[in-house]
Amino acid sequence: MKIFRIFLHFIQLGLVYVIYLMDDLYKNHLGFMRNVSYYSHKVEASKFGSKLFLLPLLLVVFAIILVVRKRTVESLILILLGLLFLIWQMIFSLATTPIYYLVSGILCLGFLLQMVIVLLKRG
């Protein structure tokens, strides 16, 4: 189980690189830029896009519940990731960051991976 948790941590570190890679792809490849712009505006116009700020808020509340139950370093990292995701949603928008929804998805995936790590950890 410990090896699986370490593997998940490496995947999380890879997600940081994926954010950089998505930004680089957006800046240098016109086809990728067009697709991202098209789908980002489509998501923003949908009902899901207008309520997306509720997701990190719900995840932070869930992280606080897990921190109260399991007081480990991993649960503190979970709350930090949840706060990072919430701050990202509050400060940035699609107008300021063209890959807003891609980064939001990557941050959500990182949070979910950390939540799996916390739930697998005995403590």
* Domain extents in the chain: 2-120
The pLDDT, as a whole number, for residue 114 is 92
Find, among 116, 122, 103, the residue nearest to 7 by Cα: 116
Closest CA to 103 of 43, 10, 20, 42: 20
Matching residue, tokens 């807003």: 100
Burial 17-27 (b: 16+ CB within 10 A, else e): ebeeebeeebe
Mean pLDDT, the chain, rounded, equals 88
Q: Is the pTM of this model over 0.85?
A: yes
Residues of the chain falling short of pLDDT 70: 123
Tokens of 67: 């921190």
- Pull the structure tokens for residue 63: 């992280």
Per-residue confidence (pLDDT) for residue 48, from 0 to 100: 81
| pLDDT score, position 11 | 93
User: Residue 112's pLDDT is what?
Assistant: 92
